[in-house]
Structures are given as structure tokens and as C-alpha cells.
Amino acid sequence: MARFDRYLLSQFMVLFGFFSLVLVSIYWINQAVRLFDALIGDGQTAWVFLEFTALTLPNVIRIVLPMATFAAVVYVTNRLSSESELVVMQSTGFSPWRLARPVLWFGVIVGLIMSVMSHFLVPVSISRLQERQDDLRQDLTARLLTEGSFLHPVAGITFYIRQIDADGTLRDVFFSDRRDARSPQTFTAARAYLIEGGGDDEGGAKLVMLDGLAQTLRAEDQRLFTTYFEDFTYDIGRLFGDRGLPHVHIRHLPTLRLFAHPEQVATLTGSSPGQIAEEAHGRFAQALLCLAAALIGFSTLLTGGFSRFGVWQQIVVAIVLVMIVKSIEGVASDPVRRDPSLWPLIYVAPLSGIGIGCVMLWIASRGSRLLPRRSVRRSVRGAAT
């Protein structure tokens, strides 16, 4: 690799790392806040929160990679243009096509990173995240055994424990079941124990309450029935339903399985053949989209030439072109979902972006400009006068 290519590629990689860090932090913090409210408020530990946020990180990186690629290329190209470095290189005989070679290297490197994320890390992390969510949904200890707080593990249920002794005894328990509006029930007990079901016990965990009171309100005539009991067993496991088989999404599965066994994937996930084709080919298209974003950002700014006022107009044009490519991507997805035989449409958006970049390089090689530089010409005439 030539020295100029290494220099330009190093500039791209440094700014790419910076913009990736910024964008990932923004997206990640936004998700972390929601996870914090859901997990910590549900009685989970800080370690579980950190585990969940770490598992969401690969998917966040996958989302921001094209944006970080485009931002890095635009920033570096704008700086090189304002500092006349590109003008110097062009004066030595470097054509726009030659200048774009390190941009192609950069786009290929980011595309490989995107491929690793899309084909391997993201499916594994999302699958593991789904497993942990299913585990926590059944974790009665974390969801119910929290003293001094009114908990709502499911809609219509309120659970309160004043104190939990070292031996597991629950003191002063309040349990309200309002899922049936016609006959809401309230249980209070001086002591209680939470016993996990086992063996052939289909009910799961049981709440054994001692020395308590059961109150049932019949809504139709507003009559309250009270029953004092010495011990009473409530099937807590029924509140959370049958765990059954975990839900599997097509994003949980590796790419090879999506291509090799689409019928099995459709049966396992409940997805249509079009959705499977869109997901499988979309993972390859995302890597090409990174290359397209890099080419569009560089070639569009190269058409502006040198100006003391910068190339902000070309930056706006580049942003518009990227938005057009993303619009094409959204439009092409719907037909593929309906008919999987139309899977080549998935590649229309990234290939269109690469084509737009090539057209911009052709325009720059001919010395044409997309936008006039009237302000530059006026400043030059003024300096001559």
C-alpha cells in the first residue's frame, strides 16, 4: 500500500473509531436507561443490568457502523480539502479515481467488520439475551422476594413483604389478586414461605401463608367474604403462565442455517419465506452499504474542489444521496417479504450507492462541479482588484 494510501486510511480509521464511539454511546445509553428502569425496578442486581447492556452492544454497533463510516469519510475529506492536501495530491497527477483507492480499502475493512457483526456476533448476542430474558421471567426469587416494596410482577397482582428473615421466613405478607374484576381477592398473613415446585408438580412455585386472612369481594352485590386460616397455599407459578418453548427469532439464527434450511427456520420461528430471505441477504447487503456510504461521502465532496469557504454544500448533497439510498433500501424490502424469489432487490440499495459514488468520481475527474462557487469567484476578483 502506497504511503498516501496508508496516511489517508489511518485518518479514516481514527475518525471512524471516534464517531463509532460517540454514536454507540448515544444509542447504548438510551437503551441502558430503559433496561435500568425495567431490571432494577424489578428487583434485579446491577450485575444483571451490566450483562444485559453488554449483550445489546453488538446490535447497537451494527446499527451505527454505516453512519460512522459516512461521518468519518466526510469529516476527513472536508479537512483535507480545506487544508489543500487534496489539491496538492491532484496537482502531482493523482486522479479522483486514484484518490478513492484508500476509500475503497476503508469501505472494505468496515464491510468486513459489519459482516462479522451481522453473521456471528449479533445472532449470538441476541439469542443469549432472549435466553436471559426468559430466565428472569421465571425468576420468582428476584421478582417477589423484595422487602419493603409493593411489587407488581404481572398486571393485576400486588405483592408486599415487610421483612425477610435469614431463614427465608416472610413476615407480614400482603397479596392482592385483581385479575378477575368480578371477584378480587386479598390475602394477608403474619408469616409465609416461598417453596419451589419440583418433580411432577405442574404448578411450580407455591406461596404457603400461615396465620392469615383471605378476603373476597363479590362485585355484583358488593359483598365481602372473609376467611381466617392457619395455613393456606397459593400457586404462584400460575401467575407467570407456562414457560413452554422459548421464542426464536430469525435474527437469533446463523446465516448459514437461514440459507441451508429455510423450511426448518420457517417452522421454528413462524416467519414467512420472504422474511427469511430478507434477513439472510440483508446481512450481506449491510456490508456493501458501508462501502457505498464511504464512496458517496468522499466522491461527492471531491466534486467541490478547493474553497476557503469549505464544501458544506457538497456535504448537504452527500447527506441527501445517503438518504435516497436508505429510502431505496426500505422500498425494496416489502416486495421481498411478499415474494422471496425477488431477493436480488435487497442489493439494489447498496449497489445504487456504489454506482452513485462512481458517477460522482466521474464528475470530479472531468473537472465538473455540482454546485457553482460564486462566492469563491467574487473573493478571487476582489483580491485581484
Residue 246's pLDDT is what?
53
21-25, 165-169, 223-227, 284-288: least confidently modelled range = 165-169
Pick from 134-148, 224-238, 288-302 the range whose average pLDDT is largest: 288-302
Q: How far apart are CA 309 and CA 282, in angstroms?
A: 40
Query: What percent of the chain is predicted at pLDDT more than 90?
Result: 38
Residue 51's pLDDT is what?
82
Q: Which residue has the higher pLDDT, 240 or 273?
A: 273
Residue 322's pLDDT is what?
93
121-125, 205-209, 336-340: least confidently modelled range = 205-209
- What mean pLDDT is predicted for residues 332-360? 93
Q: How far apart are CA 29 and CA 354, in angstroms?
A: 33
If you ran DSSP here, which 8-state letter would residue 160 be given?
E
If you ran DSSP here, which 8-state letter would residue 240 be given?
G
Asked whether residue 80 carries a pLDDT value surpassing 90, the answer given is no
Burial class (CB within 10 angstroms; exposed 0-12, middle 13-18, buried 19+) of 96: buried
- What mean pLDDT is predicted for residues 356-372? 78
* Bridge-based pairing state of the strands 150-151 and 223-235: unpaired
50-59, 238-247, 278-287, 354-363: least confidently modelled range = 238-247
Q: How far apart are CA 12 and CA 224, in angstroms?
A: 73
Q: How far apart are CA 7 and CA 9, in angstroms?
A: 5
pLDDT tens for each residue of 83-106:
878 878 877 888 889 889 999 999
Q: What is the pTM of this model?
A: 0.71
Question: Which residue type sits at 134?
Answer: D
17-31, 42-56, 260-274, 279-293: least confidently modelled range = 42-56
Q: How far apart are CA 365 and CA 120, in angstroms?
A: 40
pLDDT tens for each residue of 19-63:
999 999 888 888 777 777 666 655 566 777 788 888 888 988 999
Asked whether residue 384 carries a pLDDT value surpassing 70, the answer given is no
Q: How far apart are CA 224 and CA 234, in angstroms?
A: 20
Q: How far apart are CA 184 and CA 222, in angstroms?
A: 11
Single out the residue of 67, 22, 122, 102 nearest to residue 325, CA to CA: 67
Residue 101's pLDDT is what?
92
If you ran DSSP here, which 8-state letter would residue 28 be given?
H
Asked whether residue 301 carries a pLDDT value surpassing 60, the answer given is yes
Q: Which residue has the higher pLDDT, 304 or 23?
A: 23
Three-state DSSP class for residue 209: strand
Which DSSP string do the residues of 42-95 spell out, in sequence order? TT--HHHHHHHHHHHHHHHHHHHHHHHHHHHHHHHHHHHHHTTHHHHHHHTT--
Give residue for cell 449470538: 124
Pick from 136-145, 161-170, 370-379 the range whose average pLDDT is largest: 161-170
Three-state DSSP class for residue 152: coil
Q: What is the mean pLDDT of the chain?
A: 83
The pLDDT confidence band at residue 358, using thresholds 50, 70 and 90, is very high
Asked whether residue 185 carries a pLDDT value surpassing 60, the answer given is yes
Q: Yes or no: say if 262 and 290 are a contact pair by the CB < 8 Å rule.
A: no
Residues 6+ apart with CB under 8 A from 175: 157, 158, 159, 160, 186, 187, 188, 189, 207, 209, 234
Pick from 157-171, 284-298, 357-371 the range whose average pLDDT is largest: 284-298
